[in-house]
Structure 1
Amino acid sequence: MDRACYEEIAGILHGLLIRLDDRLPGKDITLIAEFIDANELGLALEQLADVLSEDEKPLSPEERANILALVDRMQMDDRVPHALTFCPAR
Structure 2
Amino acid sequence: MDGAEYEEIAGQLRGLLIRLDDRLSSTDGSLIAELIDVGEVGLAVEQMADQLSEYDQPLAADERADLLTLVERLQLTDRAVRALATCPDR
Fold match by TM threshold 0.5: yes
In structure 2, what is the equivalent of residue 45 of structure 1?
45
Identity rate of aligned residues, in percent? 61
Q: Which residue of 2 aligns with 1:14?
A: 14
- Report the Cα distance in structure 2 between the residues aligned to 1:28 and 1:71, rounded to whole angstroms: 19
Q: What is the DSSP-based 3-state SS (H/G/I as helix, E as strand, rest coil) of the residue aligned with 1:4?
A: helix
Q: How many residues align?
A: 90
Q: Distance in 2 between matches of 1:48 and 1:21?
A: 11
Unaligned runs of at least 5 residues, structure 1: none
User: Within 2, Cα distance between the matches of 1:88 and 1:28?
Assistant: 19
Partner of residue 88, structure 2: 88
Question: Residues 25-71 of structure 1, C-alpha deviation per residue, up to 9 Å, x if partnerless?
Answer: 00110000000000000100000000000011000000000000001
Query: Offset of 1:6 from its aligned partner?
Result: 0.2
TM-score (normalised: structure 2)? 0.98
Name the CA distance, whole Å, in 1 between partners of 2:16 and 2:73: 16
TM-score under structure 1 normalisation? Answer: 0.98
RMSD: 0.5
Letter in 2 for 1:25: S
